[in-house]
Structure 1
Amino acid sequence: MFVTFVGLTWSLVPGSTSDSVRYMAKVQKYHYSTLSFFELYMQGDEIDVFSELLIYSVSRFTSYGWVLMVFQAVVFGFFFSRNMAYVFRKLEGEMKPLVWILFLTFFVIVPIWSFNGFRFWTATHIFAYGLLPYLFEGKRKNLIWCFVTPFIFHYAFTVPLFILLIFFVFRNRLHIYFGLFVFSLFFV
C-alpha cells in the first residue's frame, strides 16, 4: 500500500532523462495512437513485454503518466512485500546479525523507490520471488517466475537464469564456482 502511495506522489524534474519520464511519455504517445498493442510493440525498441503491455493498458483510459506510476508501484510493491514477508517468515527467530545485514542490504539495494527503473528492479524482485521458495524449501514449481523473468520482464535476467541453470547441472560444487570466479577475474 505504501509503495502505491509513493507511486502516486512520484514527482519528476523537468528535462530529466530518467526511465519514469520515458514511461510517462509513452503513455501519452500511446493514448493518442490508433495502433494496436502488437503494432506499437513491433515498432518499438523494447524486448520486454510486460512493461509495454502495462503502458499500453493504462494509455487506453488516460494520458496521464502518473496513473502508470501507480500501476507500476502496485506491481513492484506486490513482489517487494511478498519477498520481505517470505524472508521474515522463514528466518523467524533465527535472525543472526550477519543475516540481518544481508537482509537489509538486499532491501536497500532494491528499495521501494527503485521502481523508477521499473523493468529491471521489478524483474529483480520477481526473480527473487521465484528463487527464494526453491532455495529455502526446494519448491521447483516457483522457479517458473525465474524462467519467465528474462522473457517478459527484463532481458538482462538471462544471465542470472544461465547461472541458475549451471547450478542445476553442477549442484553445490564450490570448487567449480570458485574456478569460474577466478577465470572471470582474468579473462572476462
Structure 2
Amino acid sequence: MPLVSYFLFLINPILGIFNSIWFKSFKNAENLIWIFVVLSSYSFVISSPELDAATRKDIFELIIYQRLSLLETFELFFLESEKSPDFIEYVIYYAVAQFTDSFDILFLVLGVIFGFFYSRSIGFFLKCYCGKYVLISVILVLLFAMINGFWNINAFRFFCAVSMFFYFTINYFVNDRKMYWVLVLCACLHYSTLLPISLFVLYLTFFYKRIGVIYTIFILSFVISFLPVAVFGSILSAIAPDFLASKVMTYTDSDYAASLSKGGTDWSIYIRGFVFFAVNVLMILLYKYARFKVFKANVKYYRFFGFIMFLGASFNALSQLPSGYRFMILYTMFVLFFVFVLLQQTKVFKHKMLIESLKISCGIFVLGIFTYIRIGLDMVNFYLIFGNTIQLVIENEKKALIELFK
C-alpha cells in the first residue's frame, strides 16, 4: 500500500496523500505531505510584488549579482534587521547562492525545512487518531493545516518558526522529549518567537501549578485587548530590550496596520476573529468542565492545558496589534491539537455542553478553512493541485489557483 501511495503521488500529489490517509498509512502520509510542501515551495507563484516572497527574491538576487561574501551578507542582514537575532535565513540565502541563481531552488530548500516541521505537526494529529468523531476531527485537522498553510512559505521566517515552536512544545509536553535545540533555531529564525519561548520558561518556572491564576489572567486579557494600538505599542516598547524596541514600534505603527489590512477583506478579518473567539470559548469551557475530572487525573494533560491557556492569556492581549493575530495563530494551533487529543483519547466531550459548543465552533471553523484557503489561492500553483507531479517538476509553469475564478 505505501508503494501505491507514492505511485499515485507521482501522478498527482493530492491523490497520493489522500490514499495514504484513507488507508491509515500515517507515516507515509507525513512524508508525502513533506514532499508536497517542497513541491509547493518550488512551484510557488509570486502573483504580486507586495508579497514577502518578492522582497526575498530581490535580496537573493542582490547576493548573487553583487557577489556578496558571507561577511557582506551579514552586513546586509544587520542593515535590514536592525540588529535582531534572526540571521539564519540570510545564511541559507548565501549558501544556496553558491551553487545556483534560481529562486525556485532557494524556495525548494526553504520548503524542505518548513515542510519537515509542517508535516510532523500534522503527523501529531494522525498518530492520535482513534476513529472517533470523524467529521469533527477532519474539520479540526483541516483548520490546523490551513491556518498555517503550506503557502506561508511566503513569510518563511515567522511561520516556519511557529511550526518549529509547535513541534518543540508537543514533543516536550506530550512525548517527553526535551529538544531545546529547536528553541535556539526558532529564535535565530524569527526574533518574535522570543516571546513564546519566554512564556514557556516563565510558565515552567512560576505558573505551571497555578492554573487558577492563569485563568484569571486569561479573562483579564480580553479587557486589555481593547486598549488602543498606539498605547499598547508604547507600553511594549518601553519594556522591550533595546534591540527589539524599534521592531515593536514598527509592528504597532498605524501605517503598518493599514498596509496589513490591505491583505484581507473585511469578511475575512471578521471570520478570523470569530475563529479566535471560538477557541477562547472552548478553553473557558474546558477549564470549567474538565479540569477536575480529566486534567487533575492526568498530569501531562494538566500541564499542557495550563501552558496553552497561559499562551492565550498573553496573546489575546496582543491580538489587537497589527501583527498580533499571528500569535493567535500559534495559540489556535495548540487549542485545535489539544481538543483533537481529548476527542480521541478521553471521554471529556461526552459532556453535553462541551460537545454542543464544539459542534457550533466547527461551523465557524469551516468558514475559517475557506477563508485561509482563499489567502492561499494567490500563491499556490494550479498545476500542483490539478497537474502531474513529474510535469510540474520539469516545466514548473507558474499559474496561480486564483486564475480559475477570474
Normalising by structure 2, report the TM-score: 0.42
- 1:182 paired with 2:219, answer yes
2:145 to 87, 91, 107: 107
1:146 to 163, 183, 205: 183
What is the alpha-carbon distance in structure 1 between the residues aligned to residue 165 and residue 69 of structure 2?
29
Structure 2 partner of 1:8: 42
What is the alpha-carbon distance in structure 2 between the residues aligned to residue 173 and residue 100 of structure 1?
33
Structure 2 partner of 1:156: 192
8 Å contact from structure 1 (residues 24, 66) kept in 2: no
The amino acid across from 1:43 in the alignment is L
Cα shift readout 1:83-113 (whole Å, capped 9, x = no counterpart) = 2223322x13165466554433222111111
Structure 1 partner of 2:208: 171
1:1-188 to 2 correspondences below 5 Å: 1-13=35-47, 16-44=49-77, 45-46=80-81, 47=84, 48-89=86-127, 91-93=128-130, 96=133, 100-139=138-177, 141-150=178-187, 152-169=188-205, 170-187=207-224
What is the alpha-carbon distance in structure 2 between the residues aligned to residue 67 and residue 110 of structure 1?
22
Corresponding residue SS for 1:10 = coil
8 Å contact from structure 1 (residues 134, 143) kept in 2: no
8 Å contact from structure 1 (residues 4, 77) kept in 2: yes
In the alignment, structure 2 segments of 5+ residues that lack a partner are: 1-34, 225-316, 318-406
What is the alpha-carbon distance in structure 1 between the residues aligned to residue 65 and residue 168 of structure 2?
37
Corresponding residue SS for 2:179 = helix
What is the alpha-carbon distance in structure 2 between the residues aligned to residue 119 and residue 79 of structure 1?
13
Q: How many residues align?
A: 184
Identical-pair percentage: 23
Cα shift readout 1:119-147 (whole Å, capped 9, x = no counterpart) = 111111111111111121222x2243134
What is the alpha-carbon distance in structure 2 between the residues aligned to residue 88 and residue 126 of structure 1?
18
Larger radius of gyration: 2
The amino acid across from 2:42 in the alignment is L
What is the alpha-carbon distance in structure 2 between the residues aligned to residue 117 and residue 79 of structure 1?
15
What is the alpha-carbon distance in structure 2 between the residues aligned to residue 74 and residue 132 of structure 1?
21
The amino acid across from 1:65 in the alignment is F
- Alpha-carbon offset, residue 153 of structure 1: 1.0
What is the alpha-carbon distance in structure 2 between the residues aligned to residue 26 and residue 17 of structure 1?
14
What is the alpha-carbon distance in structure 2 between the residues aligned to residue 181 and residue 75 of structure 1?
34
What is the alpha-carbon distance in structure 1 between the residues aligned to residue 69 and residue 181 of structure 2?
29
- Alpha-carbon offset, residue 76 of structure 1: 1.0
| Aligned-CA RMSD value | 2.1
What is the alpha-carbon distance in structure 2 between the residues aligned to residue 82 and residue 34 of structure 1?
36
Normalising by structure 1, report the TM-score: 0.86
- Alpha-carbon offset, residue 61 of structure 1: 2.1
The amino acid across from 1:63 in the alignment is D
